[in-house]
Amino acid sequence: MTSTMAIATRFVSRNCADAVYWPHSDPLMGRVSGVMQTTLYVINSAVLKMSKLTTASTVYRGYSGGSMPTAFQQANQFGVRGGVESGFMSTTTDRSVATSYASHGTVGIVIEMQMGMVDRGADLSWCSQYAHEQEILFQPLTGLEVHEQRVEGSVLVMAMRLSINLTSETIERVTSQRKSLVERTLLQMRRELHDVLHRRAPGILTHVPEAVLFKTIDRTRDEMTSKPADFFNKDQSLSDAFASTLQAKTRTVKEAEQLLLWAVRNGDADLVEWCLVTNRQSKGQHFFDESLTDGEQTLYQIAVRCGFDKCAKLLRGDQTPRQGTNALKQLGKILGVSHMQIPHQERWDLRDKIQSGEDIDVILAALSEEKVKGGKLQDILIDRTLWVISPQSGHLQVGKDSSRMTEWDVELLCKLIAAYRLRLLETSGLRVENCKRLADAIRSSTELMEVNLDGFALPIKKLKGTEPVDSLDFSDKRLGVASAVVIASLISENASLTKCKLSGNQLGVDGWTYIFNGLRDSPTSKITEWDLSSERLGPTIATPLAEYLTVTAELTSLDVRYNSINGNGASQLSVAVLGNLKIETFNEIPIKEMRTDSLTELDLKDKGIEVVGGMVLAGLLPVMASLTELNLSGNKINAEGAQPLADALRVNASLTPDVSASAS
């Protein structure tokens, strides 16, 4: 709320308010509104923002000396009576004020309207020149549907249902539309580039960090985001912005092509195969030499495994990589044995011997050697933890003492996943911070098939969506927070999965929080239902779950019964559920049918309706004019959920509720 908006709302209550309330009522007002568009937008923005603070109550509006249009008296072909107010609509919470306006003429009409959770106006009593009128102002294009009418003395009272304009935008949103267009274009271009490279050159995304590969387009996006919205409202500035965007895309593609060219010259199987196919499909331009030496292959493999920064040093010739026998010699120094003995050893004892990232590079380079792959190596000892590694099968089993893993151990594990093409990983007891780092490496791996962190092997490719399935069932697998971290990281990028059952595990609030935080930031998730019933969750789960509900457009079913969600958590979650119009069922409550008012009877007996369910019902019952019977018996709705439910039942006069034994 800005000072400009405060002044504009003060303007509404002055004598010139006719230019605001009825901009389309006559030619004169139309001409006035034509030069007041900014003022109208500012007033509308103030109404939108202040309406969020208004307490839902009954409001009134009085008319005198006339009659309502035919549309308010006779139902149309859809059985609806009412219309739309094209301008701002002023109402009052004081019925006597509306009655006084209605009593000025021979025929008085008072419109009675009930505000709700969504349909609320702005309280202007704090800034109005007529504060005693307790004015509530509604934005233009407010729908009015006649519910009933009655005569009280000389006044006709018409009870109507409000429907505010949900598509209206604040002036900030309107003036920043061009900037938003540029930002969305950059984001979409980045996704397109990611998809293209993932399909055509997966090796790039595996070995090169995205922050490096997409640095040009990311830098352009940061530059555009830092500019004010007004900058893009000039045609030339907008044109320059789009030109910079296209240049960033072109440059990113060229940088990727240069890396591909270097990869082909120095050896990487996936990238070489892709470039060969691309070259054969081109016009015969042979831009690389297809003959590769073993030394060149090892050079590139070590470079990408050590990270892109070291890869760049190799390109410039700043560093000589450890390769071939040299890597075994360096490992021999670390192990304290001759490098000639290493291929014949069954165990590498590295306890307290990994001191830096350079040592990790040596281990990775040695593991890539053919002598080691075909040798007798069975396991690696790292800090009281036994790593059982099978070089030929790609299976790595980390001992049960994983909670003691150091940052160097975790870094080695992540690099093994990325560079050694592991397919099976088994460990337990990992700390959460280590699980986060491990999850990133698992997500980037193209080879890893199974990961076992809590006694159950997670199918990695199905979770990522590289082997598409629409449903996964992990119920009662004794999964813990570690598995939840990995699952959250993987399903956030899965565009095919619609159901993922995780009930009956040991995720707790922390595990479910990782799940919903991952989905909250996911642009591709298609999950349609979640079952959190009987998960022993407290009110703290409400915040991540509510944040997820505010952004998901796919979820249709949610069940959180038999938990302990109450207090502010229950209120927060109920608001999020009611605000998501895609939700069809919540705790077995038929929300979709309740929204459309298509039920005459609603039997929720023994359905486990608790505090949150009671609050959700309270938000929907006032709009259900067709509902005549409601059975809530056998539920446990305490006073916290029963009070809003009772208030809602008082509003719906047509309803006969059965709430016996529903509160405790």
Q: Per-residue DSSP letters for 406-433?
A: -HHHHHHHHHHHHHS---EEE-----HH
Alpha helices in 72-214 (DSSP H): 95-102, 171-175, 177-200, 202-207, 210-213
Q: 499: alpha, beta or left, given left = phi > 0 and alpha = psi -120 to 50?
A: beta
Q: 355: how many CB neighbours lie within 10 A of its CB? A: 10
pLDDT of residue 642: 87
Mean model confidence pLDDT for the chain:
78
* pLDDT over 70 at 283, yes or no: no
User: Could you tell me the pLDDT band of residue 274, with boundaries at 50, 70 and 90?
Assistant: very low
Question: Percent of the chain scored above 90 by pLDDT?
Answer: 29
pLDDT of residue 312: 40
Helix, coil or strand: residue 636: coil
pLDDT of residue 286: 31
What's phi and psi for 386, nearest 5 deg? -90, 120
User: Could you tell me the pLDDT band of residue 403, with boundaries at 50, 70 and 90?
Assistant: low
> Taking Cα atoms as reference points, which of 42, 13, 38 lies closest to residue 124?
13
Q: Per-residue DSSP letters for 15-32?
A: GGGHHHH-TTSSHHHHHH
Q: Per-residue DSSP letters for 565-592?
A: --HHHHHHHHHHHHH-TT--EETTEEHH
Higher pLDDT, 387 or 250: 250
pLDDT of residue 21: 53
Mean pLDDT of 545-572: 93
First to last CA, the chain: 42
Highest mean pLDDT among 165-179, 307-321, 461-475: 461-475
Distances (CA, A) of 554 to 499, 526, 533, 549: 11, 6, 20, 10
Distances (CA, A) of 13 to 52, 90, 133, 403: 20, 10, 11, 67
pLDDT of residue 204: 60
pLDDT of residue 33: 47
Which range has the worst mean pLDDT, 223-227, 356-360, 654-658?
654-658
Q: Which two tokens stand for residue 123?
A: 């309280």
Residue 386 pairs with which residues in a beta bridge? 381
Q: Which two tokens stand for residue 475?
A: 């119920």
User: Could you tell me the pLDDT band of residue 622, with boundaries at 50, 70 and 90?
Assistant: confident
- Global pTM value: 0.50
Rounded Cα distance, 490 and 485, in Å: 9
Higher pLDDT, 182 or 35: 182
Rounded Cα distance, 576 and 596, in Å: 19
The H or E element containing residue 657 is strand 656-658
pLDDT of residue 28: 38
Mean pLDDT of 394-402: 68
Largest CA distance in the chain: 111
* pLDDT over 90 at 58, yes or no: yes
Question: Percent of the chain scored above 70 by pLDDT?
Answer: 76
User: Could you tell me the pLDDT band of residue 258, with boundaries at 50, 70 and 90?
Assistant: low
Higher pLDDT, 188 or 388: 188
Mean pLDDT of 406-420: 75
The answer to whether the beta carbons of residues 20 and 11 sit under 8 Å apart is yes
The single-letter code of the amino acid at 636 is K
pLDDT of residue 206: 59
Contacts of 316 (CB under 8 A, 6+ apart): none
Rounded Cα distance, 10 and 125, in Å: 10
pLDDT of residue 68: 81
Higher pLDDT, 291 or 418: 418
Rounded Cα distance, 207 and 301, in Å: 9
> Taking Cα atoms as reference points, which of 25, 158, 146, 30 lies closest to residue 83?
146
* pLDDT over 70 at 237, yes or no: yes
* pLDDT over 90 at 491, yes or no: yes
Mean pLDDT of 284-295: 35
Give per-residue pLDDT as tens, 25-45: 444 334 444 557 778 888 888
Distances (CA, A) of 411 to 179, 277, 366, 447, 457: 40, 35, 16, 18, 22
Query: Chain centroid to CA 152: how far?
Result: 51
* pLDDT over 60 at 86, yes or no: yes
* pLDDT over 80 at 396, yes or no: no
Give per-residue pLDDT as tens, 327-369: 778 888 888 887 777 777 878 888 778 777 778 778 877 877 7
Domain limits of the chain?
3-172, 184-316, 528-664
Return the C-alpha torsion angle 389, 395, 397, 398, nearest 10: 70
pLDDT of residue 455: 85
The single-letter code of the amino acid at 382 is I
Mean pLDDT of 425-432: 79
Mean pLDDT of 71-77: 87
> Taking Cα atoms as reference points, which of 624, 615, 613, 617 lies closest to residue 653?
624
Rounded Cα distance, 467 and 474, in Å: 17
* pLDDT over 70 at 136, yes or no: yes
Helix, coil or strand: residue 83: strand
> Taking Cα atoms as reference points, which of 585, 622, 583 lies closest to residue 604?
585
pLDDT of residue 593: 93
Contacts of 162 (CB under 8 A, 6+ apart): 113, 114, 115, 116, 119, 138, 142, 143, 144
Rounded Cα distance, 450 and 144, in Å: 58
Fold held by 3-172: Toxin ADP-ribosyltransferase; Chain A, domain 1 (3.90.176)
User: Could you tell me the pLDDT band of residue 391, with boundaries at 50, 70 and 90?
Assistant: low
pLDDT of residue 292: 35
